[in-house]
């Protein structure tokens, strides 16, 4: 009897329904979500960390693959070579910690910037460039910065807020 974590693929925007179904069937399920600040007040207040996927803990030998293949709103377990791919317990724990950290830090990421602040781009193809913080759009993790180019020309660039940091004063 080997109980492992597996990745269950869902149909688009059906993660919550599948998560609820798994819980009702007595399966341990983990559906990592982050807070969202939607423009539309009727929109979801949470967004999936992995859209289209969630994690389930089960004994596949006892349940069988068909329990997941025929579950409504799913495409079944993620498999490689016809075998369901198990996820290490340590990965689930580190993912839970990371999601918790992101939830704690999410508001402070954006709240710390105001228009005109000098910022550094930390990662990605623009890593190492300096820029000026311009705007944050409500309900998104992306911000617009003005990238300092040659001849003091500033080019607007949209970037994930997690890729920037305030420049030292």
Residues paired with 136 in a beta bridge: 143
The architecture (CATH level 2) of 113-166 comes to: Roll (2.30)
- Answer yes or no: is pLDDT of 136 > 80: no
| Rounded-to-integer distance, Cα 152 and Cα 156, Å | 13
Q: What is the pLDDT of residue 123?
A: 83
- Looking at per-residue pLDDT, the higher value among 73 and 43 belongs to 73
Segments making up each domain of the chain, as ranges = 3-110, 113-166
| Rounded-to-integer distance, Cα 22 and Cα 20, Å | 5
| Rounded-to-integer distance, Cα 23 and Cα 154, Å | 51
| Stretch 158-168: mean pLDDT | 82
Domain 3-110 in CATH 3.30.70.940? The answer is: yes
Mean pLDDT of the chain: 85
Lowest mean pLDDT among 15-24, 41-50, 84-93: 41-50
| Stretch 29-43: mean pLDDT | 80
Whether 38 and 78 have beta carbons less than 8 Å apart is answered as no
| Residue 95: HSE in the Cβ half-sphere, 13 Å Cα cutoff | 17
Q: Do domains 3-110 and 113-166 have the same CATH topology?
A: no
């Amino acid at each position: 009897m080997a109980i492992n974590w597996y990745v269950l693929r869902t149909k688009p925007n059906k993660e919550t329904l599948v998560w609820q179904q798994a819980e009702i069937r007595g399966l341990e399920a983990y559906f990592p979500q982050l807070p969202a600040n939607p423009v539309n007040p009727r929109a979801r207040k949470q967004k999936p960390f992995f859209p289209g996927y969630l994690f389930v803990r089960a004994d596949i030998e006892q349940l069988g693959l068909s329990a997941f293949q025929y579950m409504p709103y799913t495409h079944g377990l993620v498999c490689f070579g016809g075998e369901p791919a198990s996820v290490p317990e340590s990965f689930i724990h580190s993912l839970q910690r990371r999601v918790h950290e992101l939830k704690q830090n999410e508001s402070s990421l954006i709240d710390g910037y105001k228009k005109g602040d000098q910022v550094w781009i930390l990662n990605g193809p623009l890593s190492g460039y300096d820029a000026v913080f311009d705007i944050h759009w409500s309900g998104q993790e992306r911000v617009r910065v003005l990238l300092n180019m040659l001849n003091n020309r500033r080019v607007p660039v949209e970037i994930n807020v997690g890729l920037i940091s305030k420049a030292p004063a």
